[in-house]
Structure 1
Amino acid sequence: MNKRFLGFFLLVGLLMAAFSSHAAPNPDAVLGVWKNGEGTGMVQIYKKAGKYYGRIVWLKVANNPDGTPRTDVNNPDESKRKTPLKGLENMRSFTHDGENKWENGNIYDPKNGSDYSCEMTLTDSNTLEVRGFIGVSLFGRTDVWKRQVKK
């Protein structure tokens, strides 16, 4: 009988330890500076009005050959083509779903001037999968970003 109680309490203790070490999802875990998979740019993800946004904070090639800052030359809106890429808000309106995932956002690609639906998944504390797509997530592309700086 004592062995049964000991076994039971040991099992309960192990279960409690397992559940207490599994922390609740942190919606702000995505905040920080992230380098894209190509290593050509860094995006700072920040929070405003309860949603998550990103802006370009570093470019491997920050200037044109003439020394002027690179601008959003591929933007379909001509009035925005002189906007500097550094500082450009290229990620908008993500919401956290509770499982290391941020959804319902958009990402703008200044390389081609296109805007895509987007979702992000934090696979570990320093790796972020960013998936841009048109229509459904099945038809898209995933880029793996690496954390550079927290918050």
Structure 2
Amino acid sequence: MSDLQQKNIEGIWLTGLEDAHVEISIEGDVAVGKIVWMLRDKEEDGGPRIDKLNPDASKREVLLENMNILTGFKYKGKGTWEDGEVYDPDSGKTYSGSITSAGPNVLKMRGYVGIKLFGRTEVWKRVIQ
């Protein structure tokens, strides 16, 4: 893995909806990400948010903080990671995904069903600590 842009993905990122921080790390040869902070749930008296829309009813009481939502992203070169999956706790659905670096502090996160053409892209910004 010779491309220096590969490591640019590691760090903590503010999601496009600006309601969560996701920590992305590289494990072996794949990138993964987990929620490390979320806005509190306004509907639940400001308590921590749970995975209430998960299709698996046994997981609907699990806290979203510390939940893995990005899995299996493989580096393809030129700041691009492909072939991963993105779990969207706001819908309870899992999508195919790709991540592209758009600079040292910006990622383009794309979730899609089937082919990339049918999807949505969010811009994530690095959380500077």
Shared fold per TM-score greater than 0.5: yes
Paired residues for 1:24-35 under 5 Å? 24-35=3-14
Alignment partner of 1:119 out of 84, 98, 103: 98
Aligned to 1:70: 49
2:37 is equivalent to residue 58 of structure 1: yes
Cα shift at 1:49: 2.6
Unpaired segments ≥5 residues, structure 2:
none
Distance 1:110 1:32, change over 3 A: same
2:85 is equivalent to residue 106 of structure 1: yes
Cα shift at 1:28: 1.6
Distance 1:84 1:63, change over 3 A: farther
Aligned to 1:92: 71
Cα deviations by residue, 1:50-100 (Å, 9 ceiling, x for unpaired): 210000011122576345421100000011111100001000010111111
SS of residue matched to 2:127: strand
Distance 1:54 1:63, change over 3 A: farther
Kindly name which structure, 1 or 2, has the bigger radius of gyration based on alpha carbons: 1
Aligned to 1:83: 62
Unpaired segments ≥5 residues, structure 1:
1-22
What's the % identity of the aligned pairs? 37
Q: Is the 8 A contact 1:63 1:69 kept in 2?
A: no
Cα distance in structure 2, aligned partners of 1:124 and 1:85: 28
Q: Answer 1 or 2: which has greater strand percent.
A: 2
Q: Which runs of 4+ in 1 moved over 6 A?
A: none
Q: Is the 8 A contact 1:63 1:70 kept in 2?
A: no
